[in-house]
A and B are shown apart, each in its own frame.
Chain A
Amino acid sequence: MKIALLCVFLLPGNKASATDDVDESNPSQELQSEAAEEASQAVPTALEKLLETLEYRGNVSLELTGFLASADHVADQSFSSSLSGEVELYFPLSSGNSSIVATPFARLDQHDAERTHFDFREFLYQRNSDNWEFRIGLGKIFWGVAESRNPVDIINQRDAVEGFTVDEKLGQPLLQFSWFKDLGSIDFFVLPGFREQTFAGVDGRPRFSTPISQNALYESDSEDRHIDFALRYSTAIEEWDLGFSAFRGTARDPLLLPIFGTSFTDVSLQPFYYQISQIGFDAQATLESWLLKFEWIHQQADVIANHTESVIGFEYSFFGIAESDADLGVIAEYLHDNRGEASTQPFQNDLLVGFRLALNDEASTEALLGSFIDLDTDAIIVTLEANRRIGNSFKVSLEAVSYLNTANDPGLNQLRNEDYLQAEIAWFF
C-alpha cells in the first residue's frame, strides 16, 4: 500500500514550500528561504521515493485476561489487561531485487514488567536473484511441519512471555545465504549473537510458582556473543515436503537450575544456556484429506545426555461436514524424548489430540480445541482458541487454557491454579 498522503506531511520539501508566504520586503529572509529550499530538494526526493514505495501492514491489539483461581505466588491478580502493536514496514529498493523490512513490536502489560517489552521481529536487508537470496539483520525463520511442537525449529528464540498458545519469536541476528534450484533449496546461516528466552516476571500471570531469574548463565565463555551456524536443505517431491537441517551453537531452551536464597523456601530458577550440536529431519506427506507429519532431532551436548526428540502425527480433514461449508480437522500427534523422565523438556511421552473447526463463512470463523496429555503423569493441558473477523479490519479472539490432573506432575502442578480465559480484539491495517 502506498502512503503518498503521509508524505505530504512528512517531507522537508513541503516544509520548504511554506516559504512562499515569506514577506518579500525582507530580502535576507527570502535569500535564506531559497537556500533552505535548494538544500532540502536533494534530501526530499530520496526520502520521497522511499516513502512512496513504502508498504506496511500491522495490528494493534487489546487483550483482557481473567484467572479462575488465586495464584500460588505473589502475583495473585485475577484480572490483567495488555496492549500490543506490531507493524511491518517494507521498503523495496531501487534495483527491485533488494529491500529493507523492519517489523517493530511492542507490548504494554498492566502488571508484568517483563511482559512489557519491545523487539524488532525483523530488521533485514535482503537481496535476491532467480537462484539465490541473501539476508542480513534481525530475522525470523520457521522450520517444521507439526502442530504441537517443532523440535527442528531452532533459529529463533521463543518470546515465551507472549503466551503458551502462541509461537512468538524474538528477532534473531543473522546472515543468511540461500541457494535454490528445481531440486530444492539450501539455506546457510551464521548467527552472531544470542537472545535469551523471555519469561513472565514475578508480577506476571500465568507463570510457574517458582520465579525465574533474569540473570542467565552460559556454558560458553562468549556467552550471548557466541557465533552459531545452521544449515538446511528442503525440497518438495510430489506429495512429500522434506527438510534436513543441522545446527551448532547455543541451545534455545535453557536448563532451569534451582538456586537457593537465604531461606529454604527462597528458591528461584536460573536459566543455563549450554552448547549443542543438532541434526534434524522433518517430513510431511499430503495425501488428499490426510496430512502425515514427522519431525526428529538428534542432539549432542557436554552438559546433558545425547538424545533424540520426535513428533509424529496426522491431521485428517472432513470437508463440508453435515452438508454445510464447514470443515472439521482432527489432529493427533505423539511427542517423544528418549531420555524419558530425565528429559529436560516437558513433552517426553505426550499426546496432542485436537479438533479444528473452520466455518468458511464470510467472517472466517475458526476454533481449535486441543489437549496435551502426558502419558507418564496423566496431566492434561486443555486449550481452546476461537476467532472471527468483524468487518474488514477487526478480529476478535477467545482463548481458554486449563491445567488438569497435575498432581503427579511436579512441573505442571505449579500451574494448577493458572487456568485463564482471555479475550482479544485486534485492529488490522
Chain B
Amino acid sequence: MGLNMPIFNDQRRKLLTLLLAAPALFAIAPAYAQSAEEKGLEIAKEMDRRNEGFVDTTSNMKMILRNRAGKESLREMRSMVLEVQGDGDKSLTVFNQPKDVKGTASLTFSHATTADEQWLYLPALKRVKRISSKNKSGPFMGSEFAFEDISSQEVDKYTYKFLREEDLDGRATFVIESVPTYSNSGYTRLINWVDKNEYYPVKTEFYDRKNSLLKTLEQKGYQQYLGKYWRASEMFMQNQQTGKSTTLLWEDFKFQTGLSEKDFNSKALTRFR
C-alpha cells in the first residue's frame, strides 16, 4: 500500500481552447435579429473551427507558482497532443520538476460527452494506474489552474452568450459569457475576451460557485504556427481571492510532428520521457 501522487491531467492546447472561442461575427449587423446566445455559440464554433487540423503538437511547459508572500516554486513538464476528429484529444504529459515527481507521466483520452479516460504512470513502482477524471475543480499540481482549465475544450462543454464588443488595451475584442454544462465544475460562469480578428482568447474571468470573481487569466505572447494556429507563450492566472498566482510559459511548440494513435497507449506512457 503506497501513497499516490495527486491526480493530475493536462493538455496543452486545451489551455488555449479552454478559453473559448469567439468567432467573429462578421461585424456588420446580420440581416435578421440574432440572439445573444446564438451569436455567442457562433463565436465559439468559429474559434473551434480555426483550431481544427493541427494534427498534433509537442511542447514544453514551465509553471511558476507564487504564494501571497511572493515565494515561487517551479513545475516543468513536456507534453504531446494528438488531435482526434469528432472527439476530444489524446495527450501525454511527463514531469521534469519538481524532482520528486520527475518521470511521472499521465495519459488522457478526453471525450466530448462521456468522462475522460486517464492513466498515471508511477516510475518508481513501474505502475500504471487508471485514475478518476471526475475531479474537475481541483488544482493542477498545487497551481492556480484547475483540471478543468487545462482539459480538452469542446464546444459542447458550455453554453454561450455574447455580451458586447470591447476595446481591451487597444485590442478589439468580443466579450462572451460561457456557462459550463458538465457536472462538477467549480465555476458558475466564465467571461472571455476574444480577439476580434484572430479569434483567440486574451483574457478570462472565472466566477466561483457563489458567483464571485475567483480568478483572472491573461494570455500573452501569441505566435502563429503553420500560418494558421495561434498559441500563447505566456498565461498568467491571478487568484483574486487568495492573492496567489501562477505563470505558465510555453516553449518549443512543434506541430505535425508525425505522431499517431500508437504513441498514445499505456506502453507509450511508460516510455515517455
Question: A residues engaging B (CB < 8 A)?
Answer: 1, 55, 57, 59, 88, 90, 128, 130-131, 133, 140-142, 145, 147-148, 165-167, 178, 180, 182, 185, 234, 236, 238-239, 241, 284, 286, 288-291, 317, 319-320, 325, 327, 352, 354, 356, 358, 360-364, 366, 368, 370, 383, 385, 387, 389, 391-393, 395, 426, 428-429
Q: Are B266 and A392 in contact (CB under 8 A)?
A: no
Q: Does B181 contact A (CB under 8 A)?
A: no
Contact with A along B134-149 (1 / 0, CB 8 A): 1101110111000000
Write the nearest CB–CB distance from B162 to chain A, whole angstroms: 31
Q: Are B3 and A368 in contact, with the CB atoms below 8 A?
A: yes
A356 touches B138 (CB 8 A): no
Q: Give CA–CA (A384, B124) in the complex, Å.
A: 20
Counting chain A CB atoms within 10 Å of each CB, the highest count among B126, B128, B184 belongs to B126
Residues of chain B touching chain A, judged by Cβ–Cβ distance below 8 Å, are 1-7, 65, 67, 73-74, 96-103, 115, 117, 123, 125-128, 130-132, 134-135, 137-139, 141-143, 184, 186, 260-262, 265-267, 271, 273
Contact between chains at A428 and B132 (CB < 8 Å): no
Return A182 CB to nearest CB of chain B, in Å: 8
Given contacts A148-B1, A391-B73, contact A320 B138 (CB under 8 A): yes
Neighbouring A residues of B117 by C-beta, 8 Å: 236, 238-239, 286
Beta-carbon contact of A167 and B125 below 8 Å: yes
**CB-nearest residue of chain B to A147:** B1
Apart from the given pairs A130-B260, A286-B132, 4 other A-B contacts in the complex at a CB distance below 8 Å: A147-B1, A180-B265, A182-B261, A286-B130
Contact B125 A236 (CB under 8 A): no
Give the Cβ gap from A132 to chain B, nearest Cβ, in Å. Answer: 9
Contacting pair B262 A319 (CB below 8 A): no
Least CB distance, A31 to chain B, in whole angstroms: 46
Q: Is B98 touching A389 in the complex (CB atoms < 8 A)? A: yes
Q: Which one of A90, A131, A362 contacts B67 once the chains associate, using CB atoms below 8 Å?
A: A362
- Give Cα distance in the complex from A238 to B101, angstroms: 28
In the complex, how many angstroms separate the beta carbon of A412 from the nearest chain B beta carbon?
Answer: 17
Complex CA distance for A429 and B99, rounded to whole angstroms:
6
Instruction: Write out the residue numbers on chain B whose beta carbons fall within 8 Å of the beta carbon of A288.
Output: 115, 132, 134
Contact A362 B130 (CB under 8 A): no
Is B142 within 8 A of A289, CB to CB? no
Q: How far is the CA of A59 from the CA of B101 in the complex (A)?
A: 11
A47 and B3 alpha carbons, distance in the complex (Å): 39
- B131 and A286: CB pair below 8 A? yes
Q: Which of A148, A393, A426 contacts B98 (CB 8 A)?
A: A393
- Taking a contact as CB atoms under 8 Å apart, the answer to whether B267 and A426 are in contact is no
Q: What's the minimum C-beta distance from A218 to chain B, rounded to whole angstroms?
A: 27
A234 to B2, CA, bound (A): 23
Cα of A219 to Cα of B173 in the assembled complex, Å: 78
A140 to B270, CA, bound (A): 12
B132: chain A residues at CB < 8 Å are: 286, 288-291, 317
Given A140-B126, A364-B5, A392-B99: A90 and B273 within 8 A (CB)? yes
- Please indicate the chain A residues that have their CB under 8 angstroms from the CB of B5 in the complex: 364, 366
Contacting residues, chain B, for A128 (C-beta < 8 A):
267, 271
Among residues of B, the one whose C-beta sits closest to the C-beta of A352 is B1
Chain B residues, Cβ within 8 Å of A358:
4, 6
A180 lies within 8 A of B267 (CB): yes
The distance in angstroms between the C-alpha atoms of A64 and B132, with both chains bound, is: 35
For A140, the closest partner residue in chain B by CB is B126
**Contact in complex: B65, A362 (CB < 8 Å):** yes
Say whether, besides A236-B117, A428-B100, A387 and B3 are in contact (CB < 8 Å): yes
Q: Is the CB of A133 within 8 A of B267?
A: yes
- In the complex the two chains form, is B137's CB within 8 Å of A165's CB? no
Are A392 and B1 in touch, CB under 8 angstroms?
A: no
In the complex the two chains form, is B65's CB within 8 Å of A327's CB?
no
Q: A147-B1, A325-B139, A370-B1 are known contacts. Are A236 and B100 too (CB-CB below 8 A)?
A: no
CB pair A319–B138 under 8 Å, yes or no, is: yes
A289–B135 Cα distance when bound, in Å, is: 8
- Contact A185 B266, beta carbon cutoff 8 Å: yes
Taking a contact as CB atoms under 8 Å apart, the answer to whether A362 and B6 are in contact is no
Given that A288-B115, A393-B98, A428-B100 are known contacts, is A319 also in contact with B135, CB under 8 Å in the complex?
Answer: yes
Residue numbers in B under 8 Å from A368 (CB-CB) = 1, 3
Q: Which residue of B lies closest to A288 (CB)?
A: B134
B184 A393 Cβ-Cβ under 8 A: no
Across the interface, do B267 and A1 meet the contact criterion of CB distance under 8 Å?
A: no
Nearest-CB residue, chain A, relative to B115? A288
Q: How far is the CB of A158 from chain B (nearest CB, A)?
A: 12
Measured between beta carbons, the chain B residues less than 8 angstroms from A238 are 117
Shortest Cβ-Cβ A-B pairs, 4 listed? A428-B99, A362-B142, A130-B262, A319-B135
Contact sample, A vs B, 24 pairs, CB 8 Å cutoff? A57-B102, A59-B100, A90-B273, A178-B267, A180-B267, A236-B130, A236-B266, A241-B130, A291-B130, A320-B138, A320-B186, A352-B1, A354-B1, A362-B143, A366-B4, A368-B3, A387-B3, A389-B98, A389-B100, A392-B74, A393-B98, A393-B99, A428-B100, A428-B102
A317 touches B135 (CB 8 A): yes
Q: Decide if B142 touches A363 in the complex (CB within 8 Å).
A: yes
Q: Is the CB of B130 within 8 A of A284?
A: yes
Give the most central of A55, A140, A289, A319: most B CB within 10 Å.
A319
Q: Is the CB of B103 within 8 A of A57?
A: yes
* Residues in A whose Cβ lies below 8 Å from that of B1: 147-148, 165, 352, 354, 368, 370, 383
Cβ contact of A319, chosen from B115, B125, B184, B266, cutoff 8 A = B184
Q: How far is the CB of A344 from chain B (nearest CB, A)?
A: 21
Pair A361/B3 contact, Cβ less than 8 Å = no
| Chain B, residue nearest A126 (CB) | B271
User: What is the bound-complex CA distance between A153 and B72, given in angstroms?
Assistant: 41
B-chain residues with CB within 8 Å of residue A90 when the two chains form the complex: 273
Cα distance A395–B100 in the bound complex, in angstroms: 7
Centre residue among A182, A320, A356, A391 by max chain B CB count within 10 A: A320
